[in-house]
Structure 1
Amino acid sequence: MSQTQVLARKWRPRNFSELTGQEHVIKALTNALEQNRLHHAYLLTGTRGVGKTTIARILAKSLNCETGVTATPCGVCPACQQIDTGSFIDLIELDAASNTQVDNMRELLENALYAPTSGHYKIYIIDEVHMLSKSAFNAMLKTLEEPPAHVKFVLATTDPQKIPITVLSRCLQFNLKQIPQTQIADHLKKILAQEKIPNDVLSLQLIARAAQGSMRDALSLLDQAIAFGEGTIEEAGVRDMLGIIDQSYLFDLLEALMQRNGLKLLSLADEMEAQCLSFDAALQDLATLLHRITLAQAVPQAISEGTPEHARIFALAKAFAPDDIQLFYQIALHGRSDLSLAPDEYAGFTMTLMRMLTFMPDDLTVNHQSLQIPATDNRPSGKTAHKPQVKSEHTLQHPIHSINVDSSDLVWPQLTQQLKLTGMAKMLAQHSEAKALSAENIELCVPDMHKHLLDKKYQDKIQAALNTYFGKPVVLNFSIGSITGLTPVALQQREEQVKQEKAIEAIEKDPIVQELIEQFDAKLIIPSIKPTQK
C-alpha cells in the first residue's frame, strides 16, 4: 500500500509560474535569467513557508536545465528531475542551523573550487544562514569576494539582521512577503479541486487566516483538516480543529455593548466559558472584527459582498462612531496582552468587556432598522447614562454667556460624566486626576503608563467640552506624574471591587450556602460570584 504524500511536498511549485505570491521576486529573477545578468550570490529573506527554499530550487533548475540558462526550465531533463527529487550532485543544500562551525564551511568552500560534475553551475543553498558562526561567515566571505565563475550561492534566512553587513553587501537581496489570505485561499481551492475533496469557501478562509501568510503552514493545516473531516472540509470541523470561536459570539458581544447591556455581555462570556472557548483567541478575533468594521466605515469597497456576515459588519459600522471602534480595538489589544496578568482568563476577558462598556458614549445613535435593537439603556448599576444636572440658573443658553459655577462643588469624576466625551478623549479624562479644579483653571495629571493618551486632538476635545460646560474659555493644562488614585476610572474600579466583596460576603453568609458547605463539604468558586445589577 503506497503512502499518501503530504500536500506541502506534493504541490510544491516546480517552476516560477506555479508560485503563489512573490511576484516582485519572480519578475526580477525572470528578467535576470532572460538577459543572462546573473549574480554570484542571492539572499532570500522572509518568514517561514513563504517560498525561500522553493525559489532557490527553481533557480537551480533555471541555471542547470539542459536547454540552457532559462527562466522556464523544462522540468523533464535529467537535471530538472534530479533537482526536484533532491539527487542532483551539483546542488548542495546545507542547513546552517545544524552546521554552524567553521570546519563545515571550509570543507564546503574547498569543494566549491572544483568544476561541476554534470551541470552548468554548482549551486549552494544555505538555509537559515544567520545561524552560522562568526568564523564560518569569515570563511564564506573570502569566497564571496572572489567567487569561482561556476559557483552560485543562494542564501535563505528568517533573520537577516544577524547576517554580517560584509556578507549582505555581496549578495543580491530579495525580501519575500507574507502571502495574502485571499491568494492562499484561492490556491487551496485549486488544490482541493484537483484532489476532488469537497469544501466550502469559509473553511478555506479560516485556514488561510490561521496560516498567517505561510503557504506551507496552510497546506499542513489543509492536510489536518482533510483528516479531521474524514475527507470533507466543512466550516464547523475547521473551527473545531483550529479552536476558533463562533463568529456569531463576537457580533452578539458588540451588539450587547451597543445596547449598554452589561448582563448580556457577561451572559455571553459565561456561554463561551461553558463551551471551553479560548478567551485569548476571542480577543484576537474580536480585534479582527473591529478592524473589518473600521474598513467598512473608512473604505467600504474593501469588504466584498461575498464576505461572511457582510450585513452585520456594515450594520455595526453604521451604529458605532469610527473613534469608538478605534478605542475598542485598542482595548481589545491591551486586554489580550494583559490576559496572562489577570486572576484568570474569564476575569481578564470580562474586564476587557467592562472597560469597553465604561467608555461607551452616552449619545450613541443606533440604526434600529438594521439591527433591531431596543434603544433602552440597560447598562449595569454605576454605568447609567449621565445627563448634566446643573441648576436652572447655570443652564447654558448662549455660548457667549459665562456661567457662575461654585468651584467648591466641582469634583473631577462627576464633572467628566457631564462633559459628554466619547472615545479616546473620554479615556484620557477618565485616566486623569485633577490637581487643580475651578471654573477658570483646571490642571490634570496623567500617570506615566497612560501618557500615550496625551494626543493633542483628545486634549482639544476635552478643552472644547469644558468651554461649553462653563460657557467661557477655561485654562486647561496636562502633566505627566504620580497620582493618588482618585481618577474617575480608579474610583469606578474601587466601587466595583466593593460591590464584588459585598456579593462574596453575602453568599458566604447565606444560610443555605453554609449548610451545603457543612453537610456536603462543598466549596465556593469565588470567581463565579458576581454582584447583581440593579
Structure 2
Amino acid sequence: MSYQVLARKWRPARFQEMVGQEHVLKALVNALDDDRLHHAYLFTGTRGVGKTSIARLFAKSLNCETGVSSTPCGECSACKEIAEGRFVDLIEVDAASRTKVEDTRELMENVQYAPTHGRYKVYLIDEVHMLSTHSFNALLKTLEEPPPHVKFLLATTDPQKLPITILSRCLQFNLKNLIPERIVSHLTHVLGEENISFEEPALWLLARSADGSMRDAMSLTDQAIAFGAGTINEADVRAMLGTIDQRLVYQMLSCLAAGDAKGLMASVTDLAQFSPDYNAVLGDLISVLHRIALVQTIPDAVDNSMGDMLQVQKLAKALTAEDIQLYYQVALMGRKDLPFVPDPREGLEMVLLRMLAFRPAGARPRAVELQNSSALGRDKVEPSQDTSSDIKTNEPAVNVAEAVSIDRPNPLPEDESPIEAVTEQPVAPQALNPENDLRQDEPPVYYDEAEYAAPQSGVDPRKKFEGEGTEQESTPPWNMDESEQSFVNDQTMQPLGNEHAYAPSESKADVKSIEIAKSSVAVKECSRDLGAIQLSDWVHIGRNLGLSGMTESLATHISLEEIRSDAVVLHYTKDQKTMLNEVQQQRISDALNTYFSASVSVEFVQAIQTQETPAQYLNRKREERHSEAITSIRNDETVKQLQQHFDAQIELSSVQPID
C-alpha cells in the first residue's frame, strides 16, 4: 500500500477528534442532536484550520444509516463512502475552477432531484468566493429556498468577497487559527501513535512555522521526518526551516546588556555563516524581547516551551524595563526598513548599533535642563551628579509644553492684570518636602501663570494634588475694588503647583462663585446708584443682571448710549431687531429695575452703537490676553533656550487664553 501523508491519514473522523474550533463544533453538535438544521452553512477561516473536514463530518452525520446525530457510526456504507470521497450524494465543487455561470446553472438544475443513496443531497462548495457575480445571482434563489432534501455547505478563506445577499442566507461560522500549544499537543499525539522519536523544541518550531494551520503543521512534520531520516530533532528542523540558533540571539542581547559593541559585531559575524534570513532574525529578536518583558512584569506568564527560560530570566535581570521597550521599538522599526537597505546584514548591524547608541540613561524623564544656567539664576549645572537613584520612575515630569495647557481658575479682573502663559519664577528648593524624593540640585520646573503670584513658603508644591496641603489665608497682591476683594476673600486660597501659586478652593465655594471665578473675565461690581454710573460701566453691569439664555446674550450685545436721572437708552442693531421682542425687552427692563432697586425707564432704540457692548469688551480683553500670552512665551528665557539648542518652533495656534 502506498504511503499516506499525515494530513490525510489523521483527518478527523468524528467531531470529537477535531482540534480546536469548539465554538463551531458546539453549535453543529447541538443542531444535529436537536434536529434544528439550517439549509445553508458557511465556514470561513484561513487555510488548514478544518473548514472542509467539518463540512465532511457534517455530511456524514446527516447521512449516517443509524440516523441524524452528532456521532455517526463510521461503519455503515454511507460513512465509509464519505470518508473515501466517493459518496454519490455528496457533491464537492471546487469553485475556483468552476467560476462560470453555466457551471452553477448545471448544478442548480440537479437540485430538484431526490438523493440517490443517502438521506440528504449535500453540496459542498469550496472557495466559494471565487464564483463570478452571475454565478452568485444564479445561486441566490435556490440557496434561499432549496428543497427539503438539500443542504448547502460553503467554505471560503475570504468571506469579504462574498455578496451580502449570500451571507444573509447562510449560518456563518468563523474558524480560528490554532495556537502553537494546540498544534504541539496534537503533533505529540500523532508522532506517539506513529512511533516516531522527536524533540519537543523541534515541534515548537514546526508549530510556529505553521502559523495557525494544522494542515501546514502536519505537512511540515512529514517533511521533517523525511529530513531527519525517521526522527525529528531540533537541529534538523532549524536547518530545514532556515531558522537560526537561538543562542546567537541571546548572545546578541547579552552584548547589548553589557554595552559590548565588539562582541555584538562578532555575534553578527557568527550569524552570517548560516546565511540567515535577516528579517527572520529581527523577528526572533523581537519575540525574545517580548518574553523578557513578560518575565519582568509577570514572571509566571512565560513558560519553558521554547527551552529558554533560564536565558530569558537572566536577561530580564541584566536589562531594565526601559532597555527592553526601547530595543523592541528599534527592532520593530528596523524590520520595517530592512527592505530598503543595500545589504540585509548592514541593516541588522545598524539596528543593533542604534540600540547601543540610544540606550536609556536610567533616569526618568525630567523637566527641561538648560545648558545656559544663567537663565535659571545659578552659577552652573552639575551634570555629573547621578540623580537617577533618588527619582521615582512613576512620577510624571512637568515640562514647558504642558504648562501652557494647564486649566486653572482665573479670579483676576481682565482690565487690571492679564494672564501670562509662562512665568519665570522657579520653585524654591527650600520649599520642597524632603519626603518627595526630589533632589535639591534639580533644575526648576515652570508652571502656568494662571497660578497667580502670591507670597507663601514652606508648602510642598505637590501637596495640592495629593490632598495633603494645609489651607492658608492670604491677601492677594493684585489691586481690586471692594467687590472683587470680597469675592476673593470668600474663597479659601490654596497652593497649586508652585509656592507662589493660588486658586480658590472649590470645596468651600458655591457653584455660582466657581462659575464666576472661571469666567474669561471676572465680573466687576459697579455702583447700584443710577446717577453715579458711567457709560463704560455697562460692560460690567450687562453681565451682572442675573439673566440667562437668549436674554443674557441679547443684553451683552446691546450698548448703553445715554443715562438720565430715571431712564437709560439702549441701542441695538438691525440684526437684533427680530430677537429683541417685547418679551425680551421687558425682561431686561425688570432686571435693571432689580439691579438699581428703583423704577428705571428703559428705552430700546435701533441705532448705531457708539459705546462698547459687554460682548465686544470680552472679545477685546480675550484678544489682549492672547497677544500678551504670545509675547510672554516669545520672551520667556526657557523657550528661548529651547529654540536655541533644539531649533524648537512655537505653535502660536495652540496658545489659547485660560478661561
TM-score norm. by structure 1 comes to: 0.70
**Are residue 12 (structure 1) and residue 25 (structure 2) matched?**
no
- Give the distance between the partners of 2:441 and 2:27, measured in 1 at CA: 60
Q: How many residues align?
A: 409
Partner of 1:167: 166
* Residue 260 (structure 1) shift: 1.5
Q: CA deviation at 1:469?
A: 5.3
The answer to whether the 8 A contact 1:405-1:470 is kept is no
Which residue pairs with 1:326 in the alignment? 325
* Matching of residue 96 in structure 1 with residue 78 in structure 2: no
The alpha-carbon deviation at position 95 of structure 1 amounts to 1.2
Aligned to 2:316: 317
Distance in 2 (CA, whole Å) between partners of 1:245 and 1:321 is 26
Cα distance in structure 2, aligned partners of 1:284 and 1:143: 49
Cα offset, 1:326, TM superposition: 2.8
* Counterpart code for 1:403: L
Q: Which residue of 1 aligns with 2:522?
A: none
Q: Deviations over 1:469-516 (max 9, x none)?
A: 532227899xxxxxx9x989xxxxxxxxxxxxxxxxxxxxxxxxxxxx
Residue equivalent to 1:153: 152
Aligned to 2:34: 35
- Is this contact kept in 2: 1:405–1:439, CA < 8 A? no
**Aligned position for 2:540:** none
In the superposition, relative to structure 1, how do residues 271 and 88 fare at CA in structure 2: closer, same or farther (>3 Å)? same
Cα separation, partners in 2 of 1:348 and 1:37, compared to 1, 3 Å: same
Deviation at 1:113, TM superposition (A): 1.2
Code of the residue aligned with 2:94 in structure 1: it is D
> How far, CA to CA, are the matches of 1:347 and 1:43 in structure 2?
48
Residues 152 and 182 from structure 1, CA distance in 2 versus in 1: closer, same or farther, beyond 3 angstroms? same
Alpha-carbon shift at residue 198 of structure 1 (Å):
0.7
Corresponding position: 1:276 with 2:275: yes
Query: Highest Rg: 1 or 2?
Result: 2
Task: Name the structure 2 match of 1:57.
Answer: 56
Q: Distance in 2 between matches of 1:277 and 1:15?
A: 42
Superposed CA offset, 1:372-401 (max 9, x none): xxxxxxxxxxxxxxxx9979x88xxxxxxx
- Return the offset for 1:289: 1.2
Distance 1:468 1:52 in 2: 67
Higher relative contact order (CA 8 A, sep 6+): 1
Report 1:180-329 matches (<5 A).
180-305=179-304, 307-329=306-328
* Structure 1 residue 122: Cα displacement: 0.8
Matches within 5 A, 1:309-458: 309-363=308-362, 403-404=376-377
Whether the 8 Å CA contact 2:204–2:305 is kept in 1: the answer is no
Q: 1:90 Cα deviation (Å)? A: 0.4
CA distance in 1, matches of 2:646, 2:133: 54
Instruction: Give 3-state SS (helix, strand or coil) of 1:338's partner.
Output: helix
Distance 1:20 1:284 in 2: 28
Give the Cα separation in 2 of the matches to 1:257 and 1:82: 61
Contact 2:295 2:316 in 1 (8 A): yes
Q: Distance in 2 between matches of 1:133 and 1:60?
A: 26
Deviation at 1:327, TM superposition (A): 2.9
User: How far does residue 440 in structure 1 lie from its aligned partner after superposition?
Assistant: 6.5
Of 428, 440, 443, the match for 1:470: 443
Distance 1:87 1:171 in 2: 26
Distance 2:646 2:129 in 1: 50
Matched position secondary structure for 1:472: coil
After TM superposition, give the deviation of residue 304 of structure 1 in Å.
2.2
Alpha-carbon offset, residue 419 of structure 1: 10
Contact 1:439 1:470 in 2 (8 A): no
The alignment's TM-score, normalised by the length of structure 2, stands at 0.58
| RMSD after superposition | 3.5
- Secondary structure (helix, strand or coil) at the match of 1:161 reads helix
1:136 aligns with 2:135: yes
* Cα deviation 1:347-377 (Å, max 9, x = unaligned): 1111111222222112399xxxxxxxxxxxx
- The structure with the greater share of residues assigned to helix is 1
1:405 and 1:192 map into 2 onto residues whose CA distance is 74
- Which of structure 1's runs of 4+ aligned residues deviate more than 4 A? 388-391, 418-421, 438-441, 474-477
Alpha carbons of structure 1 residues 306 and 222: separation in structure 2 relative to 1, 3 Å? closer
Output the CA distance in 1 between the equivalents of 2:39 and 2:441: 70
Q: Deviations over 1:292-329 (max 9, x none)?
A: 22222233222124541111112222333334323322
Report 1:61-100 matches (<5 A).
61-100=60-99
**One-letter amino acid of the structure 2 residue matched with residue 179 of structure 1:** L
Residues 320 and 364, structure 1, Cα contact 8 Å, conserved in 2: no
Task: State the secondary structure of the residue aligned to 2:96.
Answer: coil
2-structure distance, mates of 1:103, 1:419 = 79
Q: Residues 487, 124 of structure 1: CA spacing in aligned structure 2 closer, same or farther, 3 A cutoff?
A: farther
Secondary structure in 2 matching 1:4: coil
Summarize the Cα distance change of 1:334–1:419 in structure 2 as closer, same or farther, 3 Å threshold: farther
Instruction: Write the distance in 2 (CA, Å) between the matches of 1:44 and 1:222.
Output: 26
Secondary structure of the equivalent of 1:190?
helix
